[in-house]
Structure 1
């Protein structure tokens, strides 16, 4: 029921009930109503003054329909008569007549609670904003797919100029297409399966408030898109490629670490699986074993020697010797941790990882063309997963997916020496990792100096800081995609001129 009253908030002297109370949940308050000035009653000879009136919802028990007869209002008139105060400044009485019968949205809340009414209206607004964010998530996916396809088709078109030897048609586009199609199809079968098994995401208590609504979303999506990406690469590149086999084993090893972490998280029923120290130790162990495998295995290299890092002119080839092994271990740990920290928003880690894989595929194409197939296939697997992981996500990749992506990127760089293009294409991952390091260091330093620790960011990693600053998830993801697209172009170009 709606009422108009004096701007000085004076009490009502006449209270009336309307036969069919209107719902208080209308977004447009005066929709379907008109102010009937002809029915204005003037009392004590005072004229209606120009005043500002406010509209509020009152209790349905506030009005008494029996008093309508005293004012001589026809019972057939669908109006609500409201009186102002009886003071000398009384402005008169008003009647709101509905123009026609309308259906207003209703809610299961009490009309006696104005705060609940307000909250319901805001919820209706938020529902519209969610639909807007969902559309933004779809646009992010479309933009990413168009960019990756255009880039891969362009590289396939001029690949003979890059490699100086004939390659199969659609050399990089074909594994990308196949992996994308397979992952997107399998996802429609695998997501309900994980949901039925109640393999659900656990949200940290210290996470932003809006993330708590993600509880109950299936996780461990890496179980279906990581094997598809590896399998397609092995089938197309052939099982005789040592580099592809080594990258596949490294990806599986890091996926196993993530799987163990996810299983422990589900068993403990909270978001704490492996401790950070144990996880770092396992990543370091896997990276070190891969480095020793590189040292003892004969891999193809256009320079007839290993442990080289190609850099743009005038630096050229840089031989690190045994330091190459240390750099390899560091790269595995940093990439695994970086992708894992980035996996905090819908579509953020998958999209940025797909761009990094495409950049690495272009960079390693002149050195090891089979390994470029591995990168294109993994990028396609990430894009296929994004069809289920965009806002709002129906599944998360979990640590099994994020750690595997980091391990695969590091393996591509270690097998070819393309560490510099990797660091460029993974710039967003290093931003996320650096934000956590700076947050911890700044807090400890200020606590040691002043006795009270202070935060450099509102929350780390950096994407949570942007969330708390008021940015929406799809907006943050779109910005990350734009930055990663530029970094991917630069990384691919640097790799080509370095080879």
Structure 2
């Protein structure tokens, strides 16, 4: 096999145009004119004992390709032009077995950087710093995830121990024999079923593109974009069905509370559907949603008037309050109170659902507080509250930091409607106000922010703000408080308020 040797010379002229034809320095070397519209590329084509050569160059370079037989006496290995040209030799004559290899041997110590090298220079110090920052970010995320697990375990342990104590001493509270594990059974059943259902439903939500839109959220929550939402689709039905099954579908109060919960879940489902599927930015129009919520509250009031439900001392439309107030008969005002409670609680839980686990944990504590408060009035309704609390706790296994699914309006509106239904059936509005203190603070922060802004804008011409952001948990996060710390603090405050609300409800009856 005949061996070939080729040498190329790259010249950098100081000025002037390239020659249209590059002359051959020796016989047997073929040169062709170059096209200036393409970058460096060489095309070799074997033809007998010669190689046909084609080349391209830019307007700033000149490329010479020379090919000769290995036996020729002429060599360009050490050629350096007087104008500063630098030569490189391409050799394929290392042996017959290596004819297909091309070896690049620089002749001089001059390196010509390419455009890629100029723009992609490696900086070891910068790379190491970036890697360290990345590892720090990952460690912080892992620590926050651990905090979410510890917070969730603490909440579950607290509620389980509390319900076991209540079941063991329930006869002292209601003065009537109750079945064993009256509250812990619905709580545990709902928690286990919802947590198991989440492992099936959450992947399905992701496949179905049911993902959260975060256009209204702070920029630091951009990492939550794409998280599955509408978790209320498996949270609410399980809580409702478990409560109905355990009471044997025989309790009027539980049936009414379940109906109100499903009605609010339907409103939330419509809102989520328009926002996620129809890509309407705000879902339902606010005035339409308020009208629907008021309609459900009005219907619930008239349903209470036509049904024989349990009430303190067999008197309807009364609100039990601690002494010296006692029982307060509301009369026709009970309609306004019921509708206001439904609307405020539903939208309050929705506003609270801004951090991972915040709405679910506070709602679970509120349900437990209401279950204890209504236990002497309607023990079946306390089963409904315990079942909904267990459903919220089971949902926290997927909603804790970092959340894999959100409730959506389907879940938040339904939870608020369920709390309001428990209060409307028994008149326990005051214990509800106490046990849902965190939710009330979230709503008050929005009301104060809007009112103060409009007032200062009317007086001074420029609106001013009380908080950096609303609801309240966004303000705390803007002040530098970490998300798991805010959630843990909300759980502690809700636990204290829940115990006090349960005490107030028991002494009121």
Bin the TM-score by the shorter chain: 0.7 to 0.9
Alignment of 1:115-154 (within 5 A): 118-154=129-165
1:30-51 CA-to-partner distances (Å, cap 9, x unmatched) read: xxxxxxxxxxxxxxxxxxxxxx
Specify the structure having the higher radius of gyration (Cα): 2
What's 1:406 paired with? 416
What's 1:456 paired with? 466
What's 2:84 paired with? none
CA contact (8 A) 1:447 1:453 kept: yes
Alignment of 1:407-446 (within 5 A): 407-446=417-456
CA contact (8 A) 1:203 1:270 kept: no
Deviation for aligned residue 1:150? 1.2
Q: Which has the higher contact order (CA 8 A, sep 6+)?
A: 1
| 1:349 is the counterpart of 2:359 | yes
What's 2:477 paired with? 467
Deviation for aligned residue 1:411? 0.1
1:463-483 CA-to-partner distances (Å, cap 9, x unmatched) read: 001111111111100000000
- TM-score, structure 1 normalization: 0.76
Deviation for aligned residue 1:123? 2.7
Alignment of 1:62-211 (within 5 A): 111-112=122-123, 118-204=129-215, 206-211=216-221
Deviation for aligned residue 1:450? 1.6
State the distance in 1 between where 2:127 and 2:297 align. Answer: 56
| 1:340 is the counterpart of 2:350 | yes
Deviation for aligned residue 1:289? 1.2
CA contact (8 A) 1:311 1:318 kept: yes
State the distance in 2 between where 1:428 and 1:352 align. Answer: 7
1:417-472 CA-to-partner distances (Å, cap 9, x unmatched) read: 01110000011111000111111111111111121112211110000011111111
Tell me the secondary structure at the aligned position of residue 303 of structure 1.
Answer: helix
CA contact (8 A) 2:360 2:396 kept: yes
Tell me the secondary structure at the aligned position of residue 301 of structure 2.
Answer: helix
Q: 2:252 aligns with which of 233, 236, 242?
A: 242
Q: 1:213 aligns with which of 206, 210, 223?
A: 223
State the distance in 1 between where 2:353 and 2:222 align. Answer: 16
1:329-362 CA-to-partner distances (Å, cap 9, x unmatched) read: 1100110010000000000000000000000000
CA contact (8 A) 1:202 1:269 kept: no
What's 1:75 paired with? none
What's 2:107 paired with? none
What's 1:13 paired with? none
Alignment of 1:251-270 (within 5 A): 251-269=261-279
1:273-329 CA-to-partner distances (Å, cap 9, x unmatched) read: 112222222111111111121122221234122011111112111111111111011
- TM-score, structure 2 normalization: 0.75
Aligned length: 390
State the distance in 1 between where 2:335 and 2:124 align. Answer: 67
Tell me the secondary structure at the aligned position of residue 328 of structure 2.
Answer: strand
What's 2:306 paired with? 296
State the distance in 1 between where 2:202 and 2:451 align. Answer: 39
Tell me the secondary structure at the aligned position of residue 201 of structure 2.
Answer: helix
CA contact (8 A) 2:312 2:426 kept: no
What's 2:369 paired with? 359
Q: 2:284 aligns with which of 269, 274, 291?
A: 274
CA 1:193–1:429 in structure 2 vs 1: closer, same or farther (change >3 Å)?
A: same
Query: Which sections of structure 1, spanning at least 5 residues, go unmatched?
Result: 1-108
CA contact (8 A) 1:111 1:117 kept: no
CA contact (8 A) 2:311 2:425 kept: no
CA contact (8 A) 2:183 2:382 kept: yes
What's 2:53 paired with? none
CA 1:453–1:186 in structure 2 vs 1: closer, same or farther (change >3 Å)?
A: same
Query: Which sections of structure 2, spanning at least 5 residues, go unmatched?
Result: 1-119
Cα RMSD of the aligned pairs, angstroms, is 1.5
State the distance in 2 between where 1:290 and 1:438 align. Answer: 30
Q: 1:287 aligns with which of 297, 305, 315?
A: 297
Tell me the secondary structure at the aligned position of residue 277 of structure 2.
Answer: helix
State the distance in 2 between where 1:275 and 1:115 align. Answer: 50
What's 2:494 paired with? 484
Tell me the secondary structure at the aligned position of residue 318 of structure 1.
Answer: strand
What's 2:94 paired with? none
State the distance in 2 between where 1:450 and 1:192 align. Answer: 52
State the distance in 2 between where 1:211 and 1:247 align. Answer: 35
